[in-house]
C-alpha cells in the first residue's frame, strides 16, 4: 500500500485549528475530540461549518471519531464528508465512534473495543473499596513520589526546561516500545494548546519519573487521560498516583466524566478480530491494556466502533484505519517493526532455524559442503543458535544479545564467502538459487534485527534514568 509523502504536505493553517477548537468547545462530545487538534490532521468543513478531522492515507480519508457537529446533524455531515471524499477517489472511515454513530443511515459500524468511564467524584470511594489500588498509591508515597499540576507557561514554549525534560522522557519511553511509533490518534503530543489541557507531573525529589496528559471533552463536562508516560525506573504506584491526581482534579472542577480511552479489541468483538488480538499480542498487549484500565474500577464500559459506508467491506475499513495509524503505509511499517527486533521476531528467527537445519541435515551433501565435518559443524551451530534465540526471546539479556549478534554476523560473512567461492559454480536451477539466496539472506537479516533490538534496549536503559529537572 502506498500513500503520498507526508513530509511535503502543508499543515492546516492556524486559523483552521482555531475554527476546530471553537467547534469543539460547543460540540466536542467524543472522547477523542480534542485530539483532532494534533499536527497530523487535515480538516474538511461542511456547508454549515461543522468540521471533520481526518488523515489522507492516499486511498481513504480516515476521520478521528465522529464529525464535530450538533447530534442532529452528525449523520448528514458524515454523508457530506463521504461524498466529498468519493469525488476525489477516496474511501471514508470514522474511527472510534460511539453509540450515537451506530444508527447513521447509509453507514455500518464494527465493534473494535470498549472504553471505560468514571465519575471522578466517586473515585475516592473506588480507592477505599480497592485494597490493591490503595497499596499502589501507598507505595508511591513511600518512595517519595509527588504529583503536581504543571503551569502551561512551563510547557508551552519550545526550550522550556520542563518541556525539554518531558520530551526526553517521551523519547526514552518510545524507545522501549516493541512497535515503531504510530500516528493518528496515538501520536504523543502533550504540548499543543497547553492552556486547554492539563499536565500532571510525577517527581521523586527533583527527578521527573512520569506524567499524565489530560485533555478536555467539552460537551460532556469531562476529561480524557490521553497519555500516561513513566520512566522505566519509576517506583511502583507512579502511574496510579498520576491517575488519582487527574481524577481528584476533575472532581474538584465539578466534572462528572473521565475516561482512559479505548481498550482495543476488548468486549464482544468478532471472532476474526479476537484471533488477530491473540496473534498480535507479542507486539501489543491487548488484554494487558484492558486489565490495567479495569483495575481502576470504572463505572461502566461503553462500546467503540469503526463506522464506514454500508457499501464498503469491514475488512477494507479496518485496513484503511490501520494505514492511518501506520503513518508511512502498512508495508513499510511492517518492515520497520520486523527490523526493530521485538520478541516475536527473535522467536520466529529461532523457529525458522528448525526446518532449515533439518533440510541441511537431510539434503546437504558434498555439493554444498567441502566435507562432512564442515556440514555437521554448521548444523551444530544452527542448533545452538536456535536454543540461544529462544532463550533471548523468553528473557532479554544484553550479554546474550551481544554474543548472538557477533556470532550471527560472523555466520553471515562466512556463509557469503562460502557461497561465493564454493556454491555459486554449482548452482544449476531455481531451487538451488533459492536455497543459496536464503542461506545468505537469513543470517544477514538476523544480524540487522539483533543489532536494532540491542540498540533499542540500550536506549531503554539510558531512558530508565529519571530525568533531572533543571
- Whether 173 and 106 map to the same domain: the answer is no
More confident residue, 210 or 180: 210
- Whether 177 and 280 map to the same domain: the answer is no
Instruction: Express as a percent the part of the chain with pLDDT over 70.
Output: 86
Residue with cell 534465540: 389
pLDDT value, residue 278: 80
Residue whose C-alpha is closest to residue 262's, from 304, 325, 213: 304
Could you tell me where the DSSP H helices lie in 216-342?
A: 238-252, 271-279, 286-294, 314-326, 330-340
pLDDT value, residue 373: 83
Span 366-375, mean pLDDT? 72
Asked whether residue 34 is assigned to any structural domain, the reply reads yes
Highest mean pLDDT among 79-88, 176-185, 460-469: 79-88
- Whether 45 and 154 map to the same domain: the answer is no
Residue whose C-alpha is closest to residue 344's, from 396, 382, 380, 379: 396
More confident residue, 257 or 448: 257
φ, ψ (nearest 5 deg) of residue 198? -125, 135
pLDDT value, residue 465: 36
- Whether 53 and 124 map to the same domain: the answer is no
Least confident of 101-110, 200-209, 373-382, 416-425: 416-425
pLDDT value, residue 426: 62
pLDDT value, residue 339: 62
Asked whether residue 249 is assigned to any structural domain, the reply reads yes
Least confident of 82-91, 160-169, 228-237, 367-376: 367-376
**441-465 as b/e: b if 16+ CB within 10 A:** ebbbbbbbbbbbbbebbeebeebee
- Whether 359 and 383 map to the same domain: the answer is yes
Query: Using the 8-state DSSP alphabet, how is residue 176 labeled?
Result: T
Please state, rounded to an integer, the average pLDDT across all residues of the chain: 85
In this prediction, residue 365 has a pLDDT band, given cuts at 50, 70 and 90, of low
Residue 463: pLDDT over 50:
no
Of 307, 333, 359, the residue that ends a domain is 333
Pair 226, 35: CB distance under 8 Å: yes
- Whether 147 and 251 map to the same domain: the answer is yes
- Whether 127 and 230 map to the same domain: the answer is yes
Pair 213, 266: CB distance under 8 Å: no
Residue 14: pLDDT over 60:
yes
Of 308, 333, 358, the residue that ends a domain is 333
- Whether 306 and 362 map to the same domain: the answer is no
pLDDT in tens, 323-351: 998 876 777 777 676 666 566 677 777 88
pLDDT value, residue 342: 61
- Whether 52 and 70 map to the same domain: the answer is yes
Highest mean pLDDT among 98-112, 403-417, 425-439: 98-112
- Whether 307 and 382 map to the same domain: the answer is no
In this prediction, residue 202 has a pLDDT band, given cuts at 50, 70 and 90, of very high
In this prediction, residue 423 has a pLDDT band, given cuts at 50, 70 and 90, of low
Q: Which domain holds residue 218?
A: 120-260
3-class SS of residue 467: strand
Asked whether residue 435 is assigned to any structural domain, the reply reads yes
Asked whether residue 97 is assigned to any structural domain, the reply reads yes
Asked whether residue 469 is assigned to any structural domain, the reply reads no
What does the alpha-carbon distance between residue 449 and residue 340 come to, in Å, rounded to a whole number?
Answer: 6
pLDDT value, residue 4: 35
Of 333, 355, 385, the residue that ends a domain is 333
Asked whether residue 42 is assigned to any structural domain, the reply reads yes
Q: How many structural domains are present in the chain? A: 3
- Whether 345 and 417 map to the same domain: the answer is yes
Least confident of 24-38, 258-272, 316-330, 448-462: 448-462
In this prediction, residue 433 has a pLDDT band, given cuts at 50, 70 and 90, of confident
Asked whether residue 470 is assigned to any structural domain, the reply reads no
Pair 81, 45: CB distance under 8 Å: no
Pair 195, 234: CB distance under 8 Å: no
What does the alpha-carbon distance between residue 181 and residue 194 come to, in Å, rounded to a whole number?
Answer: 22
How distant, in Å, are the alpha carbons of 37, 128, 218, 237 from that of 137? 33, 11, 29, 5
Asked whether residue 468 is assigned to any structural domain, the reply reads no
Residue whose C-alpha is closest to residue 227's, from 246, 203, 208, 254: 246
Least confident of 141-155, 353-367, 434-448: 353-367
Number of C-beta neighbours around residue 315 at 10 A: 10
- Whether 414 and 325 map to the same domain: the answer is no
How distant, in Å, are the alpha carbons of 148, 160, 161, 165, 204 from that of 470? 16, 10, 6, 9, 14
Q: Which CATH number belongs to the domain containing residue 147 in this structure?
A: 3.40.630.30
Span 369-374, mean pLDDT? 76
Amino acid at each position: 500500500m502506498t500513500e503520498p509523502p507526508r513530509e511535503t504536505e502543508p499543515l492546516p493553517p492556524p486559523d483552521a485549528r482555531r475554527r476546530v477548537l471553537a467547534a469543539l468547545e460547543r460540540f466536542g462530545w467524543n472522547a477523542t475530540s480534542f485530539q483532532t487538534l494534533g499536527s497530523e490532521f487535515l480538516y474538511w468543513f461542511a456547508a454549515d461549518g461543522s468540521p471533520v478531522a481526518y488523515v489522507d492515507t492516499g486511498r481513504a480519508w480516515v476521520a478521528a471519531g465522529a464529525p464535530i457537529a450538533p447530534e442532529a446533524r452528525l449523520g448528514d455531515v458524515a454523508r457530506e464528508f463521504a461524498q466529498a471524499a468519493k469525488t476525489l477517489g477516496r474511501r471514508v472511515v470514522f474511527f472510534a465512534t460511539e453509540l450515537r454513530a451506530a444508527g447513521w443511515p447509509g453507514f455500518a459500524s464494527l465493534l473494535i473495543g470498549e472504553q471505560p468511564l468514571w465519575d471522578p467524584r466517586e473515585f475516592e470511594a473506588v480507592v477505599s473499596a480497592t485494597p490493591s489500588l490503595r497499596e499502589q498509591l501507598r507505595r508511591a508515597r513511600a518512595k517519595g513520589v509527588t504529583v503536581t499540576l504543571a503551569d502551561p507557561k512551563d510547557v508551552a514554549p519550545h526550550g522550556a526546561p520542563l518541556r525539554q525534560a518531558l520530551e526526553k522522557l517521551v523519547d526514552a519511553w518510545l524507545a522501549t516500545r516493541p512497535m515503531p511509533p504510530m500516528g493518528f490518534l496515538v501520536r504523543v503530543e502533550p504540548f499543543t494548546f497547553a492552556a486547554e489541557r492539563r499536565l500532571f507531573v510525577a517527581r521523586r525529589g527533583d527527578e521527573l519519573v512520569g506524567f499524565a496528559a489530560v485533555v478536555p471533552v467539552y460537551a460532556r463536562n469531562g476529561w480524557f487521560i490521553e497519555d500516561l508516560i513513566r520512566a522505566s525506573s519509576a517506583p511502583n504506584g507512579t502511574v496510579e498516583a498520576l491517575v488519582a491526581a487527574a481524577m481528584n482534579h476533575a472532581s474538584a472542577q465539578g466534572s462528572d466524566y473521565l475516561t482512559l480511552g479505548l481498550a482495543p479489541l476488548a468486549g464482544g468483538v468478532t471472532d476474526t478480530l479476537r484471533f488477530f488480538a491473540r496473534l498480535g499480542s507479542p507486539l501489543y498487549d491487548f488484554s494487558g491494556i484492558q486489565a490495567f484500565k479495569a483495575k481502576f474500577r470504572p463505572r461502566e464500559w461503553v462500546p467503540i466502533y469503526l463506522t464506514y459506508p454500508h457499501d464498503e467491506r469491514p475488512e477494507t475499513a479496518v485496513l484503511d484505519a490501520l494505514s492511518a495509524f501506520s503513518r508511512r503505509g502498512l508495508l513499510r511499517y511492517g518492515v520497520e517493526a520486523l527490523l526493530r527486533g521485538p520478541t516475536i521476531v527473535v522467536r520466529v528467527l529461532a523457529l525458522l532455524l528448525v526446518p532449515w537445519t533439518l533440510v541441511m541435515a537431510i539434503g546437504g551433501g558434498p555439493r554444498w559442503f567441502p566435507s562432512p565435518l564442515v556440514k555437521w559443524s554448521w548444523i551444530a551451530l544452527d542448533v545452538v543458535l536456535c536454543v540461544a534465540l529462544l532463550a533471548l526471546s523468553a528473557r532479554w539479556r544484553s550479554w546474550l544479545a551481544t554474543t548472538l549478534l557477533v556470532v550471527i554476523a560472523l555466520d553471515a560473512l562466512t556463509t557469503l564467502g562460502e557461497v561465493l567461492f564454493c556454491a555459486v559454480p554449482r548452482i544449476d536451477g531455481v531451487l538451488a538459487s533459492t536455497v543459496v539466496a536464503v542461506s545468505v539472506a537469513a543470517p544477514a537479516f538476523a544480524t540487522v534485527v539483533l543489532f536494532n533490538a540491542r540498540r533499542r534496549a540500550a536506549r531503554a536503559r539510558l531512558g530508565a534514568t529519571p530525568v533531572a529537572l533543571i
